[in-house]
Amino acid sequence: MFDKKTVIRAVASLSCSVALLAITQPVSAQAMRPEVGRPLQAAQEALKGKRYADAAAKVREADNAPGKTAAEQVTIERMRAAVAAASGDLATQVAVVNSGKLPAGEQIRMVQSVAGQYYTQRDYANAAVWTQRYFKDGGTDQQMRSILLQSYYLAGDCTNVSRTLQGSLQADESAGRAPPEEQLQMLASCFQKSKDNNGYVASLEKLATYYPKKEYWADLLSRVQTTKGFSDRLQLDVYRLKLASGLMGGSSDYMEMAQIALGEEYPAEAKKIVDQGFASKALGTGGDVERQKRLADLAGKRFAEGQTALAKDEQTALQSRDGNDLVALGYNYVGYGQVAKGLSLMEQGIKKGGLRRPEDAKLHLGIAYLQAGQKAKALQVFKTVGGTDGTADLARLWTLQARRTA
């Protein structure tokens, strides 16, 4: 999800920079009284040699000198901070920061170092607190925003992960940019850990929109089908979405989809499914080839019969008191390649009313528009699809699919 090693290396460099500052700024004994300057010079040499215990002892010796001037105290605290940062003495670093005796610029660097070291110690709650303090005190290093975000995430603080990311994600989308995939992954993972299914699905939908990988789409479809109240009658619509998004599995998916389409009187769609199955080599190989060929023959036969009956079926549908037959026939016409006529009949059927399942009809009209390449109209129709049995959920996923292919 994110490169934690990179962050830890960056954190280590923060501590090194604090120590390096003290090493590269020579301590002048002439600028201080000998009882302060000499032990600080010795501390500096010990720090260069990584003899941290000796360095800390010399800092204490300098601090024990009576009557220290303000300048001497600043130099002592600077050296104390450097030794603590280099040796990983977090308690001393915190004490130095809280003393408020360092100059403002060095204070911010020390706060940054403390935040980073809490992160490396996996104390993510304190890492977040100190990173917030860093920005509050005027820090501007954008690398620290990554540490803050990851601290929230690793601490399981999904509220702050969402709050922190919301602004940047909205800014990216408003500017027409794809939000970073790792940030969307982090948000989705956080919602999943906190069992916030709505938040997880919303994040997953963004991932599927901007990074249309099969695993995101497969997860979305799986969640839709396991939603409470999802109707089994929508199985063909699920397969339609799987086919459009490249999620069809092996021969069983093609066989089952074609059989359902034949059962629901969509012979043109059934033949197309079988043809695609053979073209993709999902069908036509293995130990079930004869059964697959029989299905192909049946689909071909029903296709021819359905094409012959189109005109007669149209007259019957037009004379019907409701629009059910018109909607179904219109979808068939689209499957046979008579797109304009099919879409017109579907619209007439919806307008005529009396539909057994009006939300299904609108969903199918949207799918037909999308299959016809009319994405703008498809999106308009999908917006109108309601229902609590899965139709609205599928329409939302079809909306993502339409935008993905736009």
pLDDT tens-digit profile, the chain (406 residues): 455 555 555 554 554 454 444 444 555 555 788 999 999 999 999 999 999 999 999 999 999 999 999 889 988 988 998 898 888 889 998 998 898 888 888 888 889 889 988 998 899 999 999 999 999 999 988 888 888 988 998 888 888 988 888 888 888 888 989 999 988 999 999 888 888 888 888 899 999 989 989 999 999 999 889 888 999 999 999 999 999 999 998 999 999 999 999 999 999 999 999 999 999 999 998 889 999 999 999 999 999 999 999 999 999 999 999 999 999 999 999 999 999 999 999 999 999 999 999 999 999 999 999 999 999 999 999 999 999 999 999 999 999 999 876 5
Kindly give the interhelix angle for 267-279 and 324-335, rounded to the nearest 10 degrees.
Answer: 30
Distance CA 130, CA 245 (A): 45
Do the Cβ atoms of 204 and 188 come closer than 8 Å?
A: yes
- Where along the chain do its domains lie? 4-155, 172-211, 248-337
- Calculate ∠ Cα 295-300-306, nearest 5°: 120
Fold of 4-155: 1.25.40
Backbone phi, psi, residue 207, to 5°: -60, -45
Which tokens sit at 346?
């579907």
Residues 6+ positions from 132 with CB-CB distance below 8 Å: 148
Between the alpha carbon of residue 206 and those of residues 187, 196, 252, 314, the distances in Å are 10, 16, 30, 41
Distance CA 219, CA 206 (A): 13
Which residue reads 């799987």 in tokens?
242
Which tokens sit at 212?
């249309």
Backbone phi, psi, residue 138, to 5°: 110, 5
Between the alpha carbon of residue 130 and those of residues 14, 162, 198, 329, 336, the distances in Å are 14, 19, 31, 66, 65
